[in-house]
């Protein structure tokens, strides 16, 4: 599942549900067979879907499968130490009210967008619970969260809806503005709101080689040209941070390495997007602060400081 905490993919939702089930089912002495998980699902789960979910978790190092004579369904599984770390991190996020609220808004907007394309007009909002989008880190959104989300999106003109049975927004349909958020901002309300507030922003960037004309970055952004962006130094700092990635908690490592990859890709781009580099650097700093490792914090700090100077902030 992505770092937004929700997904539109049933296979990802199934993997998280299976990881949860294995962890809870094996906390005692018993190690139940995987067939028990399949039998407990509200809808029939075919063998191919179960096999794919098990394979994905096993290849990621999150579970260890103990084979049975009757095939996969008669096999059992246990969560690895890495799996426990990942699962606990996701469970901790479930209690983050701010993260849940943002995720609920973006997930509901994305769901209504898809509902329109499937020819479903003004669906009951609670039906999102039947969809993978109706969960945050595997935990279903509450009725109150769904209700609050409907009000929030309607108040901002992203959806239109009608109430009933005590619910301010019982059923709804996505508005053109909401479609724009999904299509142009990948459903990110934060990115959309930033664009609305910022209007036209000025970014100072520096490049290795001379460029001519204005180079646009982001949305509704102008850019000032400057020579002297030292990609070599940036790449060296990235490598230094990458060598310290082993100190990052396992649950955050995939995100951490992804942000490093983004910075590296932009650094080797003839027209690097400083805004993207800055954003990725900020994410790295946030993850490093949780690790509590002085060496990691120092290397990330040096990288972020260099990025800030390249952006003209320091």
**Cα 299–chain centre separation:** 25
Predicted pLDDT of residue 1: 57
pLDDT given for residue 2 in this prediction: 64
HSE-up of residue 99 (Cα within 13 Å, Cβ side):
15
pLDDT, residue 199, reads 46
Would you state the pLDDT for residue 131? 96
pLDDT at 310: 77
pLDDT score, position 299 = 86
> Considering the entire predicted model, what is its pTM?
0.61
pLDDT of residue 258: 83
Helix axes 176-184, 97-117, angle to 10 degrees: 110
Is residue 205 within 8 Å of 311, Cβ to Cβ?
yes
Q: Which two tokens stand for residue 293?
A: 């490792």
pLDDT in tens, the chain (314 residues): 566 889 999 999 999 999 999 999 887 767 788 888 988 888 888 889 999 999 999 998 999 988 766 677 778 888 999 889 888 888 888 888 888 999 999 999 999 999 999 999 899 999 999 999 999 999 999 999 999 999 999 999 999 988 866 678 899 999 999 999 999 988 888 888 777 765 433 333 333 333 333 333 343 333 333 334 577 778 888 888 888 888 888 777 788 888 888 888 777 777 777 888 888 888 898 898 888 788 888 889 888 888 888 777 54
Token pair for 306: 């260099």
3-state class (DSSP) for residue 271: coil
Do 208 and 231 contact (CB within 8 A), yes or no? yes
Strands 221-224 and 63-66: unpaired
- What is d(CA 20, CA 47) in angstroms, rounded to the nearest whole number? 19
Identify the sign of the CA torsion 102, 15, 280, 186.
negative
Q: How high is the pLDDT of residue 10?
A: 92
Q: Is 108 helix (H, G, I), strand (E, B) or coil?
A: helix
Element (H, E) at 209: none
């Amino acid at each position: 599942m992505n770092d937004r905490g929700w997904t539109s993919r049933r296979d990802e939702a199934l993997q998280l549900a299976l990881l949860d089930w294995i962890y809870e089912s094996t906390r005692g002495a018993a190690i139940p067979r995987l067939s028990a998980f399949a039998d407990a699902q509200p809808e029939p789960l075919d063998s191919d879907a179960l096999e794919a979910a098990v394979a994905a978790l096993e290849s990621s190092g999150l579970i260890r499968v103990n084979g049975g004579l009757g095939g996969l369904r008669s096999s059992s599984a246990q969560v690895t130490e890495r799996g426990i770390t990942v699962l606990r991190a996701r469970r901790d996020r479930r209690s983050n009210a701010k993260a849940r609220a943002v995720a609920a808004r973006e997930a509901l907007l994305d769901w209504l967008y898809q509902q329109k394309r499937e020819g479903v007009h003004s669906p009951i909002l609670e039906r999102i619970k039947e969809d993978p989008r109706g969960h945050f880190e595997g935990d279903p959104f509450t009725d109150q969260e769904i209700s609050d989300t409907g009000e929030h999106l309607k108040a901002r003109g992203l959806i239109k809806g009608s109430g009933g049975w005590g619910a301010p927004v019982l059923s709804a349909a996505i508005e053109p503005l909401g479609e724009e958020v999904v299509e142009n901002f990948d459903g990110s309300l934060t990115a959309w709101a930033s664009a609305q507030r910022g209007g036209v922003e000025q970014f100072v960037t520096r490049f290795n080689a001379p460029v001519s004309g204005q180079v646009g970055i982001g949305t509704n952004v102008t850019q000032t040209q400057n020579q002297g962006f030292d990609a070599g130094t940036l790449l060296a700092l990235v490598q230094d941070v990458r060598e310290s990635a082993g100190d990052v908690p396992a649950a955050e490592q995939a995100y951490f390495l992804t942000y490093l990859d983004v910075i590296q890709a932009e650094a080797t781009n003839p027209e690097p997007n400083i805004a993207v580099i800055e954003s990725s650097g900020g994410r790295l700093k946030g993850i490093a602060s949780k690790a509590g490792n002085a060496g990691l914090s120092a290397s990330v700090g040096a990288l972020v400081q260099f990025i800030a100077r390249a952006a003209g902030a320091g």
